[in-house]
Amino acid sequence: MPADLLSSALTGSWALPLMCALVFGDAFLVVIPGEVAVTALGAASASAGAPPLWAVIVCAGASAATGDVACYLLGRLAGTDRWRWMRTARVQGALAAARRRLDKGLATVLFTARFVPFARLAVNLVAGASRVSPPRYLALVSLAALGWAAYQASVGAAVAALLPGGPLVAVPVSIVVAVGLGLLIDVVVRRVRRRHPHDETPVS
């Protein structure tokens, strides 16, 4: 019975719209589990047959890109110090580091920051405030978002393909694996920060 309920929840008509809402919100609030939602639906796709994996990737990529563009527009229209939360030491430090990184290469920064939530927010705000060319930004951020979505969904699908037991087993295990990989990325980024203290994009 629990397996049937979980399968129904993950394959229902509202599953993709909910995932899209979470991924979009994740662009602004790092506590929203956008990555978890994409991974869970990737696992459901492989273990239950729905929703289609391509739909998970396309919808997640489009939502992620839309959220990033919204942050870019916020930075372009309001700058990076209009509101009180932007003027905190932590946020200003993140924004300053994002500016240094953007000076070195927009494409690399957008692709790497997509996997580091707090850095992603800072980079997109600074890109907007710095008035990075909209066509160039849109092209790069769309590719980065699609690559991120494919990665997250594929983690879930790969775990589901390797483990028997259907969604009841595949979904929670895939989420644990995805979170573990995310933590590993954070560890690597922090080590890079320690080795290159003047050249990093900060993380949470």
Model pLDDT, residue 62: 97
Please check the confidence at residue 46 and state whether its pLDDT lies above 60.
yes
- Hunting for tokens 């707090």 — which residue is that? 118
Q: Which two tokens stand for residue 69?
A: 């563009």
Distance, CA of 199 to CA of 46 (rounded, Å) = 40
The CA-based angle 17-119-109, given to 5 degrees, is 100
163 vs 57: which has the higher pLDDT: 57
155-193 in b/e form (b: 16+ CB < 10 A) is bbbbbbeeeeebbebbbebbbebbeebbeeeeeebeeeb
Distance, CA of 105 to CA of 34 (rounded, Å) = 26
Model pLDDT, residue 150: 94
Model pLDDT, residue 91: 62
pLDDT mean over 104-111 = 78
Q: Which of 57-71, 114-128, 137-151, 168-182 shows the lowest mean pLDDT across its residues?
A: 168-182
Share of residues in the chain with pLDDT > 70 (%): 70
Model pLDDT, residue 126: 84
Distance, CA of 178 to CA of 156 (rounded, Å) = 8
Confidence (pTM): 0.78
Alpha carbon 27 to its chain centroid, in Å, reads 7
Confidence of residue 112 (pLDDT cuts 50, 70, 90): confident
Distance, CA of 203 to CA of 140 (rounded, Å) = 21
The one-character DSSP state at 166 is -
Distance, CA of 132 to CA of 48 (rounded, Å) = 43
pLDDT mean over 30-49 = 86
- Hunting for tokens 């203290």 — which residue is that? 197
Please check the confidence at residue 76 and state whether its pLDDT lies above 80.
yes
Please check the confidence at residue 201 and state whether its pLDDT lies above 80.
no
Confidence of residue 130 (pLDDT cuts 50, 70, 90): confident
Task: State the CB neighbour count (10 A cutoff) for residue 110.
Answer: 25
Determine whether 152 is exposed, middle or buried from the number of CB atoms within 10 Å of its CB (0-12, 13-18, 19+): buried
Confidence of residue 84 (pLDDT cuts 50, 70, 90): low
Handedness of CA 34, 185, 65, 134 (dihedral sign): positive
Torsion of CA 104, 107, 111, 116, to 10 degrees: 30
